[in-house]
Structure formats: C-alpha cells, structure tokens
Amino acid sequence: MDKGLLSVFTEDDFDEDILGGEYHLEDIVSLSYVMNKSTGERFARAVLEDGTTMIKPAYTRGGNYQVEHVIQPYRTTAERNAVIAELADDPDLTQEMIAAMLDISQSTVSNVLRNS
C-alpha cells in the first residue's frame, strides 16, 4: 500500500456530525486511491467496517483537505441506484468518478442513470 495513502485520513475526518455516527481510524478496513482520468484528480477512498465510504481529495503536494463525500452503506440494488442518482446531482462528478467511488463499473452508473 502506498505510504502516502496511510496519512490521508486523520482522526479529524471522523466528525460525528459529518459521518452520522461515532467512527475512528481503526474502523477503516479498506483504503485506495481513486483517479479521475479526465482531470487527473486523485481522491482517497476509505471504507469503514459497516460499509460507510469516505472520499476526500488526495493531492501529492500536501495540504489537509476535508472529506467531500460520505456514502452510507447500501444493501440492495435499489439503495445503490439511489446513491448513484444522488451523486450524479453533483455537477463536479463524472460517471467515471462515481463508479470509482462506489467500486462499480462506469457502464453500471450509465445504465442506472439512463433508466432512472
């Protein structure tokens, strides 16, 4: 794992008001980088034990950035599709970025948006 990725999330990111519950760094079960190929922006993706996903910018030139997206866990396809539709309302997010955030394919995002 990239050592820089380990330093992206800090205890400050686990604000109960933002996440809707009490979480800590120890609750992270998966860390990965997500890249928007069209813009080159990198984001860090942390998945917590209960399935909650946190997304925040991860720039190589330092800086402490806030968590931009908190995605609550979903159990069904209908819940996942609702998350996709909600994220698609953000004009700064591409289908590719939404797919990377949810760890699904861009074609799945496209199909959900076309059929909603």
The domain locations on the chain are 1-73, 74-116
Judge whether 45 and 53 are in contact, CB under 8 Å. yes
Name which of 112, 28, 110 is nearest 67 in CA terms. Answer: 28
Q: Is the pLDDT of residue 1 over 50?
A: no
What are the angstrom distances between the C-alpha of 33 and each of 16, 29, 75?
A: 24, 14, 24
Say how far apart CA 89 and CA 93 lie, in whole Å: 8
Residue-wise pLDDT tens digits, 18-70: 777 788 888 999 998 887 777 788 888 999 999 999 998 876 555 667 888 89
Which stretch of 6-10, 69-73, 78-82, 111-115 has the lowest confidence by average pLDDT? 6-10
Taking the alpha carbons at both ends of the chain, their separation in whole angstroms is 37
For the whole model, what pTM was predicted?
A: 0.81
CATH architecture designation of domain 74-116: Orthogonal Bundle (1.10)
Percent of the chain with pLDDT over 70: 91
